[in-house]
Structure 1
Amino acid sequence: MTAIDERMTRFFEDLEVPEGCKAELIRGEIVMMAGPDMAHNLIVESIVDQVPRIRWHRLQTQDVAFPADASEPQPDLVVIERGAVKGPGRLVPAPAVTLVVEVVSKTSVLRDYRTKRELYAEGAVPVYLIVDPIKGLCVLLTEPTPAGASGLPDYVAERTTKFGEPVPLDLLGVVLDTSEFRTYS
């Protein structure tokens, strides 16, 4: 990490985000966005309800650490196995994360489909689920690799399903029911 990245990280840690907004540090840039839509929140709630609490922590406001990339995204949902992280802290190290979920908004399309896809693959997050209420689709990405076909970090396996179709989250032992997922109005 460069000196500029370190200064930006310190600045980000001290940033006071206005109520109703969310901020992320993505590749050295601070990205601020408005709070989510109700459809977005209901999708996240549905996923949380389907991931068994007995084995998994299902965290909705958790920053994830990617120190080599000057990134501290806050996915819409972070799933980590119980016992994978010891002690308190604002950041969960990327290697401890099993699943990240991003619910696409009109302003996050490029970030969710491209920037975060590369970031999560580079951080070796085993499962990245993109839920897109604009298109009514779920994109399940697995098998991260440091250099995909484009030479950039990517996921080897990609499975796209429509809302209403099941999404197998094999690593979690869950088949996600998406019948309650709704598109934006």
Structure 2
Amino acid sequence: MTPSTAQGGQMSVEDFEQLERHAPETVTLEFIKGKLEVKPMPDGDHGAIFMWLLRQCIQHRPDLDLHPDQGLAVEAYRAGRARPDGVLAPVAHFAGQGEWSHPDGVLMTVEITSHDSDTDRRDRSEKRAGYAEAGIPVYLLVDRKTNTLVVHSEPKDGTYLQAPSFSYGEDVELPGPVGFTLHTDKLKDYSS
């Protein structure tokens, strides 16, 4: 296996990137576990949750930016391409980088689940593994199906060793290197 072809992949990373460059602006593509995936357009509650989290991040860590849909090269050998709903990194961290940045220096990725089963599966399993393989310290999953936040941390050997779950309304401590507490009462307004 070469770094440009994912294990059991349908296409090379280079072929994916070429396809993605020519996709219409209304289509967001990802390359996860060797499969071409289409990321659905977010609904209003999804957007409201992202903005809530953005405000929390700015308030607690003004030295960091929460980037929406930043392209990351993830998985083993950086053979995957993901667009997390949010990527927390130092201010101007991605300046001068290309469309698919290496995850070095990223402190946290965020996914907010959608209501379709494919996206739900990717957020809970495939992307989680890719972020862990890339060594991203914290992966925050906002699970709209169960009205919980799952804080994945301590990546090791392609998995996260810690994954406590918190209900909407609880205070959620994000471990280092993020290092602040989310006050989640507002998320109750966006529950299904």
Which whole-Å CA distance do the structure 1 matches of 2:95 and 2:38 have between them?
A: 29
Aligned counterpart for 1:95 among listed residues 104, 117, 122: 104
Query: What is the CA distance between 1:173 and its match in structure 2?
Result: 3.0
Secondary structure of the residue aligned to 1:48 is helix
Unpaired segments ≥5 residues, structure 1: 147-152
The 1:3/1:139 distance shift into structure 2, 3 A limit, reads: closer
Q: Which residue of 2 is the match for residue 150 of structure 1? A: none
Which whole-Å CA distance do the structure 2 matches of 1:130 and 1:19 have between them?
A: 26
Amino acid at match of 1:60: P
Aligned counterpart for 2:14 among listed residues 10, 30, 43: 10
User: What TM-score do the two structures reach when normalised by structure 2?
Assistant: 0.83
Unpaired segments ≥5 residues, structure 2: none
Which whole-Å CA distance do the structure 2 matches of 1:174 and 1:3 have between them?
A: 37
The 1:123/1:112 distance shift into structure 2, 3 A limit, reads: same
Query: What is the CA distance between 1:41 and its match in structure 2?
Result: 0.8
Query: What is the CA distance between 1:170 and its match in structure 2?
Result: 3.2
Which whole-Å CA distance do the structure 1 matches of 2:36 and 2:154 have between them?
A: 28
Amino acid at match of 2:84: P
Q: Which residue of 2 is the match for residue 155 of structure 1? A: 160
Q: How does 1:32-181 map to 2 (within 5 A)?
A: 32-52=38-58, 54-66=62-74, 68-82=77-91, 84-85=93-94, 87-107=96-116, 108-146=119-157, 153-171=158-176, 172-181=178-187
The 1:139/1:18 distance shift into structure 2, 3 A limit, reads: same
Please identify runs of 4+ aligned residues in structure 1 that moved more than 4 A: 2-7, 83-86
Which whole-Å CA distance do the structure 1 matches of 2:112 and 2:106 have between them?
A: 17
User: What TM-score do the two structures reach when normalised by structure 1?
Assistant: 0.86
Query: What is the CA distance between 1:69 and its match in structure 2?
Result: 4.7
Encode CA deviations 1:49-98: one digit per residue, 9 max, x unaligned: 11136311210020111261520100000011236556231122122211
Contact 1:144-1:154 within 8 A present in 2 as well: yes
Amino acid at match of 1:157: Q
Contact 1:131-1:139 within 8 A present in 2 as well: yes
Which whole-Å CA distance do the structure 2 matches of 1:93 and 1:3 have between them?
A: 14
Which whole-Å CA distance do the structure 2 matches of 1:33 and 1:57 have between them?
A: 22
Contact 1:169-1:175 within 8 A present in 2 as well: yes
Q: Alpha carbon RMSD of aligned pairs, Å? A: 2.2
Aligned residues: 178
